[in-house]
Amino acid sequence: MIQYPKGQKQLSRATRSQTMQTNYSSRGMGLENILNQTNELYRLQKRAVIHKKPTPIQIVKVNYPARSAAQITEAYFRQASTTDYNGVYKGRYIDFEAKETKNKTSFPLKNIHEHQLEHMKECYEQGGIAFVIFYFSSLKEYYLLEYKWIEQFVHDSSTKRQSIPLTYIKEHGQSISLSLQMTLNYLDAVDSLL
């Protein structure tokens, strides 16, 4: 249906409803794309080797409309994934999670899962460097916070807060800047953790 005088196509009620629903599955993809690009640059510069970890899935059903167009129609997670990225920098193991929020004053703790905290703890206890890179999208600000500060906040908080305040992240973490090449030079912040 054409809506005059603007000449724009009018969406059906069902289509409008689907369009208006918030899609959380791709939240954080902007940050992940930037980190993937940054990690590729680090690899090419021979500065570090850091990769995004694949999420382990079990494929249940596949649709084969044509041999070259196979589609996975049903799958499930085999196990809870650990963290988003791992690799080696200056001979040290690095393991970190990338998290994004629209909040302006804090990061919701429910977005860091218990198995992720446990994994970072195990890496940290073995001498690895474990941290979270936070992106506050409403503020366009990036921060790196070492695992030990997250653990201290989560376990030592007598108030059982539901989120980590941005003031805490700024006090104990480090600000990271996005370059003109759309890379996030987080290894400069990691250098201070070595």
Tens-digit pLDDT profile for residues 5-35: 444 444 444 444 443 344 444 444 589 999 9
Q: What is the pLDDT of residues 56-95, one digit of tens each?
A: 666 777 888 877 788 877 776 665 667 889 999 999 999 9
- The residue extents of the domains of the chain are 24-191
Is this prediction's pTM over 0.85?
no
* Least confidently predicted of 43-57, 68-82, 143-157: 68-82
- Phi, psi for residue 188 in degrees, rounded to 5: -65, -40
The domain over range 24-191 is classified in CATH as 3.30.70.260: no
The pLDDT value recorded for residue 7 is: 46
